[in-house]
Structure 1
Amino acid sequence: MTAARQQIPRLLPPELKLPNATFSTPDKLKDKVTPELLDWAADYLAISRSWLDGVDDMPHLMANHYKAPARYRDWLAKRLEAAPDVSRHLNVWKTWGQDIPSGHGPFCVIYEEVADGLDGAEFSRYWLLSDHWILEHTPCLENLLAVIAVDGSLGVSVFGIDIPLTQLQQLEAGKMFIPDVAKHAQGKWYPEDLVKPLPGKDSEWRQALWAGAQVYLNWEQQIEGAQSHASGH
């Protein structure tokens, strides 16, 4: 859902209410913008506060735990606590026309929460869980499998979409918003098959990627266990 400008006052908390006419043009709004209003907008939209200030190139919030994928479990647990009543998905966008494991180009891992919007519409918030991950780099794929496994263990559905290279590059550069990139979808695929392949569809390369993913997951758990043991003495 994208709210029309005349609907924005309906979303604002009482302490930030402004007349409807304030949102009719950018010129009328610019003198009414306060740090408190920007704080609210960043939180409500899950957008970088620094980007709203014009000092960060990336509008979307990022939770990138590359080579430490077990930390996604803690991050997701916090999101479950903060927003228990939303539906949530993991979206994996890979470069259109490129397959795993032989493909090239970027892929993006995106966490989405879908809540009730205005007048029965849905409203989505997004977080980037990857930062310039590429198909041709094996550790990136291993981390992808680990993220899929972590999210699946917490009941989060996973969806795969093919996106043209140009749009993925613009997303990673902070030049396009996730909903705008989604409009360029070229097809679907099934990332969960990389973790739990269909009967008779397994392969040596998938098993190798899964073994690598488990190394990352188990390695971090072992470190956390050692730290916990040390702090108890």
Structure 2
Amino acid sequence: LVDQPLMRNVLADLAVEAEAATLAALRLAGAVDRATRGDAEEEQLRRLGLAVTKYWVCKRAPAHAAEALECLGGNGYVEDSGLPRLYRESPLPSIWEGSGNVAALDVLRAMARQPQAVEAFFAEVELGAGADRRLDAAVAGLRKDLAGLGDPDAAAYGARRLVERLALVLQGSLLVRHGNPAVADAFCASRLDGDRGLAFGTLPAGVDTAAIIARSGPDAVSAA
């Protein structure tokens, strides 16, 4: 199946999602370590970046697990594969550790009470400035919309949408700086430029699926 064009689209899309989430997790783990040692700037990034990323990864995980299970068919459905357990447990972080609404409103709270956290967040994101026009446009649009936030009820109503955009620009910036070029390009095209559908496996034409899939294949895992 891996040689079929549509399956390659699905696998590449899943790999892009996983790499973006992993990079964000590693960057924030570093921020937590440095904040613990007294780095004030990293503490501000940790405050906002962690809440933003928690919301988005928790929302994406169940769909990601379901699509991965589907790729393996019956072999993925049986308990021996391990995927059913991952699928069952994937919703738990946003149930036990705070719902999506709680996480999104926590971001708004942090932005209102700690403006320096917003500055630290954009300082991190803008380290990727100039690397990809789609990222630059997404960051500029986000800054403009943040400047226009006014009515608290309206801000709360759109909190999930706002936090999603914050998460995507953070992941995009990390990918263009530290990720594989093929993965970064696919991410910016699909997540930031909007050239994709609503399900996994809807990456646009021109994405280097072969390079993306190769990074997640058995040979790459063994080498790592």
* Class of the TM-score when normalised by the shorter of the 2 chains: under 0.3
> Which of 1 and 2 has higher RCO (CA within 8 Å, sep 6+)?
2
> Which is greater in Rg?
1
Q: TM-score, normalised by structure 2?
A: 0.27
* Higher strand proportion (structure 1 or 2): 1
* Higher helix proportion (structure 1 or 2): 2
